[in-house]
C-alpha cells in the first residue's frame, strides 16, 4: 500500500545513522583548519563553493554580501538561542528543513545535505535539533576546492579547503562513530 511505504520511508529518515561516541569528543575540539575572525578576509581565500555550518558563520557571510552555496543553521549558538537579528537573517531564505538530534547524524539530515549540494541556487537548511556535526559529512560530500566553514566557539570561523586528504581524514573519523556506517555512506554518496 502506498501509505505504508510513505510511513516507513518517513520513519527511516528520522533514524540516527551515526552517534558521536564520548571517546571522540575531545578530537573534535581541535579546529580542522585555520581560524579567521574576519569574514571578508576569509572570503578572499574562497574560490569555489562555500558551505557554512552554523548560524553565526552564516550570518557573517550574509553580512559580507556572500550567501553560502549551502548553509546549515539551527537558530542556536553555544547551545543558546541566537539573537533575533541573526535568526531572522539566517532563516530568511530557508529552503530545506531537517531534524537532527544532538551528538548524532540522522538519515534525514544527510539526505537533506545531499539534496542541498545538488541545487543550483544558494540553499539554507534549517535544522530542528543540532547542526554541529554536519561539517564532517559536508567535507566528505563537498567538491574539491570547496570551502567548508564552521564556528569554533569563542575563537572564530574554521576554514577547511576541501582536498582528498581532508575527505580521507573525515571518512576515517566518521568510521569511528557508533551506528550504521554502511547505510550512512550509502545515503551520503
Query: Cell match 573519523: residue?
Result: 173
Run of H or E including 94: strand 94-100
- Give the residue carrying C-alpha cell 579567521: 36
State yes or no: 154 annotated in a binding site: yes
The answer on whether 57 is annotated among ligand-binding residues is: yes
- Under DSSP, the state recorded for 164 is H
Closest CA to 58 of 165, 113, 131, 161: 131
From residue 70, how far is each of 22, 40, 55, 113, 175 by CA, in Å? 29, 18, 12, 8, 24
Residue 12 labelled as part of a binding site: no
56 known member of a binding site = yes
134 marked as binding residue: no
Helix axes 107-117, 2-13, angle to 10 degrees: 90
Angle of the 84-91 helix axis to the 55-63 helix axis, nearest 10? 80
> Do residues 62 and 89 touch, judged by C-beta distance below 8 A?
yes
Q: Which residues are annotated as a binding site?
A: 55-57, 74, 131, 154
**What are the binding residues for GTP?**
55-57, 74, 131, 154
Amino acid at each position: 500500500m502506498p501509505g505504508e511505504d510513505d510511513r516507513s520511508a518517513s520513519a527511516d529518515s528520522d533514524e540516527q545513522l551515526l552517534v558521536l561516541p564520548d571517546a571522540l569528543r575531545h578530537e573534535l575540539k581541535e579546529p580542522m583548519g585555520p581560524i579567521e575572525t574576519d569574514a571578508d578576509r576569509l572570503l578572499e581565500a574562497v574560490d569555489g563553493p562555500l558551505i557554512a555550518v552554523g548560524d553565526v558563520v552564516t550570518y557573517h557571510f550574509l553580512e559580507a554580501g556572500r550567501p553560502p552555496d549551502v548553509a546549515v543553521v539551527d537558530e542556536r549558538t553555544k547551545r543558546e538561542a541566537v539573537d533575533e537579528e541573526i535568526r531572522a537573517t539566517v532563516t530568511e531564505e530557508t529552503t530545506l528543513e531537517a531534524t537532527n538530534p544532538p551528538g548524532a547524524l540522522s538519515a534525514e539530515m544527510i539526505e537533506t545535505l545531499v539534496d542541498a549540494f545538488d541545487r543550483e541556487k544558494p540553499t539554507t537548511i534549517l535544522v530542528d535539533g543540532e547542526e554541529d556535526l554536519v561539517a564532517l559529512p559536508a567535507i566528505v560530500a563537498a567538491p574539491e576546492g570547496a570551502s567548508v566553514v564552521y564556528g569554533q566557539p569563542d575563537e572564530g570561523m574554521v576554514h577547511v579547503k576541501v582536498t582528498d586528504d581532508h575527505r580521507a581524514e573525515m571518512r576515517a573519523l566518521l568510521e569511528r562513530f557508533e551506528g550504521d556506517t554502511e547505510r550512512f555512506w550509502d545515503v551520503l554518496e
